[in-house]
A and B are shown apart, each in its own frame.
Chain A
Amino acid sequence: MLKRVHFPSSPLPYLLVAPQLAITLIFFIWPASQAFYQSFLIEDAFGLGSEFVWFENFEVLWSDSHYLAAFWRTAVFSLLVAGLSMGFALVLAGFAQRAVRGALTYRTLLIWPYAVAPVLAGALWVFMFNPTLGIFPYFLEFFGIDWNHYLNGGQAMALVVMAAAWKQVAYNFLFYLAAMQSIPPSVIEAAAIDGAGPGRRFWTIIFPLISPTTFFLLVINMVYAFFETFGIIHAVTQGGPGTSTTILVYKVFNDGFVGLDLGGSAAQSVILMVLVVTMTVIQFRYVERKVEY
């Protein structure tokens, strides 16, 4: 018969977890439930009177062509941001991994952008691309490109995508580099002896071996693009021109805080919450199967 060991239960683990639990409860669960409740109300801004309307706020959203357009815009934006920042990070990590001299300097410099707050990142890009003062529009003019993201929606979108992707490159870089360093050198050396060049080694050995990291980063980057890019958009375009850079999270802010439509805004944030949860679940259930650990 197996002997079971019973440890006397100590309050210490609970105590240690308590602060994290408290933070989650106070800053996530409670506000999220409030938003959930608010999404069933039509309420005036001051909270003086409110009407319980069940799902009407949601119905209004589904019949609003502008909301549906924001949906597609967000999808395009997130895919572009995730794709660009992960792609660049992968390339940079590949090179930094192979660098012989000054490797530490490269790595340190490449990590820096992650320390920049989103609003500041936005401000930097606004300066560089300001149509009258910026340096990039000046260069672009040599190629016959008339840059004005205040009027051109496509250019505005390109600008926020670049700013958002740039900021996230550092984070992705860090994970890719760590993943590459954990690959046993013997595997790569064996391939090299068999005559595989750097490109082939990368695609047939390194890339499959770091696929768990790619998968993890995909989830993180999509969530980042959905939520944390708010600061960048607010600083760069404020959702304009027209609504060409109004992604879902910006619309939540704009309708709630500028338009003071609390019910509609809360309904949008609930949809956003559901969306991200679903996205994560799908990714874990289906995408993960193709990942080789």
Chain B
Amino acid sequence: MSVKTLFSTTAFLAAAATSAYGETEIQWWHAMGGANGERVNKIAEDFNATQDAYKVVPVYKGNYTETMTAAIAAFRAKEHPQIVQVFEVGTATMMAAKGAIYPVEKLMNDTGENFDGKAFLPAVVSYYQTPEGELLSMPFNSSTPVLWYNKDAIEAAGAKVPETWAEVKTTAQKLVDNGMDCGVSFGWQSWVMVENFSAWHDIALGSKENGFSGFDTEFTFNNDAVAARLDDIASMSEGNLFKYGGRRGDSLPMFTNGECGMWMNSSAYYGSIKSQAGFEFGQTMLPLDTSLAEAPQNSIIGGATLWVLGGHDDEEYKGTAKFLTYLSSAEVQAWWHQETGYVPITTAAYELSKEQGFYDNNPGTDTAIKQLSLNTPTPNSRGLRFGNFVQVRDVINEEMEAIWSGDKSASEALDAAVERGNDLLRRFERSAN
């Protein structure tokens, strides 16, 4: 079993899929399956119909990890696409590959496209900017965690929709007293309960502005604030006020089949919940821990951006730039946002959705964007940029599972996660230099 073999096979397949056809072709590798995949195709088709010099070809490459790996393998074989969709935790890896990427802002300037960095929502683009403020990749599908709640169950229990963690507890208690199996659950726990919990209360996850100003960063999320919150949640599992339901979105059925009354996870679950839940549901902002802050800061995003890879010719880059301009236009963005539940990336698209009456007709759908733009992001809340973060998230998942199973206290688990995470950061730092 060798890494290289697998790499070269993938690269070969990638090369086979990239044969050219005449008009300047732009390959767009993405990770959007199912209904969202069709929407991606529609965006490309619509763009192709607006002009005949360029043709954008979207290619589905599997999930986020597979897409990124495929692009990297293809790059090593010099058969890479012009545009590739990379999830947010891959940002540091992409950034470190200076010779492989073509920063989007530079591309726009080089090709003479109109580009105004101020048109984008700060909380969305700040995740993908250099410390100097240059935009590296084009935000495409971004979401943020919100608190989903079962409206019917909360009303039946005579409880209120919580705004603070203390209220989460009382509401959960009332729900369970009223016969529910569990009060609250969540998914993507590193993202929701560590990364966003920290940003929401303006607490640093790591040194060097969460990794934004250098690779020699260290994790600091093993602080008392996070530990106390996780310990408190662990104590809630007594009496089933809290129930752990697995990583990523595995716990979704617990919410949609009425087992749990509250669920914290991405705003992009809107479509799934709408089609699966047999009850009235709503979304509201993440709860505040009043012992840590008087008001929430802002939440951070998840999702993916489009990276432009280097090593192609000018004509192809011209087309790529034109396509990215089209993609970020208010009409396309508003449509994408309303169809998927991802947040719009520009202020103009947000305003347009407002004008079209989308939020009036679908109350709560602007929760995500409100959370993201609550305040001007601070160094603690603009996002994070840690190398090897895919693995670090696995480590955090493992250690958090040890808290929920009662094997470790929160501070023991977080200390272990920080120690293991720092080792991964050091390895990344060396590979990046």
Contacts and interface: CB of A to CB of B under 8 A. Distances in A.
A269 B100 CA distance: 27
Nearest to B90: A260
A133 to B, nearest CB: 10
Given A47-B76, A255-B391, A258-B391, A35 B69 contact: no
Interface in A49-88: 49-51, 60
Interface in B212-253: 244, 246-247, 250, 253
B347 interface: no
Contacts of A132: 253
A28 to B, nearest CB: 9
Nearest to B99: A48
A241 B388 contact: no
B65 interface: yes
A42 B426 CA distance: 11
B1 A27 contact: no
A132 B181 CA distance: 16
B97 interface: yes
Nearest to B399: A242
Interface residues of B, number: 36
B93 interface: yes
A287 interface: no
A38 interface: yes
A269 B431 contact: no
B398 A261 contact: no
A181 interface: no
A206 interface: no
A42 B420 CA distance: 18
Contacts of B247: 240-241
B250 A150 contact: yes
A240 B398 CA distance: 9
Contact of A46 (B6, B100, B430): B100
B5 interface: yes
Nearest to B101: A46
Interface string B387-414: 0101100100110011000000000000
**Chain A CB within 10 Å — which of B3, B75, B430 has the most?**
B3
Contacts of B118: none
Interface string B89-104: 0000100111110000
Interface string A236-268: 000011110000010010011111111111100
Residue picked from B1, B69, B432, most chain A C-beta under 10 Å: B1
A149 to B, nearest CB: 11
A42 B246 contact: no
A35 B391 contact: no
A44 interface: yes
Contact of B1 (A38, A51, A150, A252): A252
Contact of B398 (A34, A51, A242): A242
A266 B2 contact: yes
Contacts of A49: 431-433
A166 B125 CA distance: 51
B283 to A, nearest CB: 24
B401 A241 contact: yes
A264 B6 CA distance: 16
B69 A260 contact: yes
B72 interface: yes
Interface string B1-32: 11111101000000000000000000000000
A45 interface: yes
Nearest to A273: B1
B96 A31 contact: no
A207 interface: no
Interface residues of A, number: 43
Interface in B246-263: 246-247, 250, 253
Contacts of B65: 257-258
Interface string B102-145: 00000000000000000000000000000000000000000000
Given A43-B431, A46-B99, A242-B398, A265 B76 contact: no
A269 B388 CA distance: 20
Given A240-B247, A259-B390, A259-B391, A272 B1 contact: yes
B427 interface: yes
B97 A242 contact: no
A45 B76 CA distance: 9
A151 interface: yes
B247 to A, nearest CB: 7
Nearest to B8: A31
B398 A243 contact: yes
Nearest to B391: A259
Nearest to A264: B427
Contact of A259 (B2, B6, B388, B433): B388
A45 B72 contact: yes
Interface string B301-336: 000000000000000000000000000000000000
Contacts of A258: 65, 69, 390-391
B94 to A, nearest CB: 9
A150 B246 contact: yes
A269 B3 contact: yes
Given A44-B431, A48-B100, A241-B246, A31 B72 contact: no
Contact of A31 (B4, B397, B427): B4
Contacts of B388: 259-261
A259 B420 CA distance: 14
A114 interface: no
B2 A249 contact: no
B258 to A, nearest CB: 13
A227 B5 CA distance: 15
Interface string A135-151: 00000000000000011
B254 to A, nearest CB: 10
A44 B97 contact: yes
B97 A48 contact: yes
A124 interface: no
Given A44-B93, A150-B246, 14 more contacts: A38-B3, A42-B427, A44-B431, A46-B76, A49-B433, A132-B253, A249-B1, A252-B3, A259-B394, A260-B69, A260-B93, A261-B388, A266-B4, A269-B2
Interface of B: 1-6, 8, 65, 69, 72, 75-76, 93, 96-100, 244, 246-247, 250, 253, 388, 390-391, 394, 397-398, 401-402, 427, 430-433
26 contacts: A35-B2, A35-B3, A38-B4, A42-B427, A43-B431, A44-B93, A44-B431, A45-B72, A45-B93, A46-B100, A47-B76, A48-B97, A48-B100, A51-B433, A240-B247, A241-B247, A242-B397, A242-B398, A249-B1, A255-B391, A257-B3, A257-B6, A258-B390, A259-B391, A260-B388, A265-B3
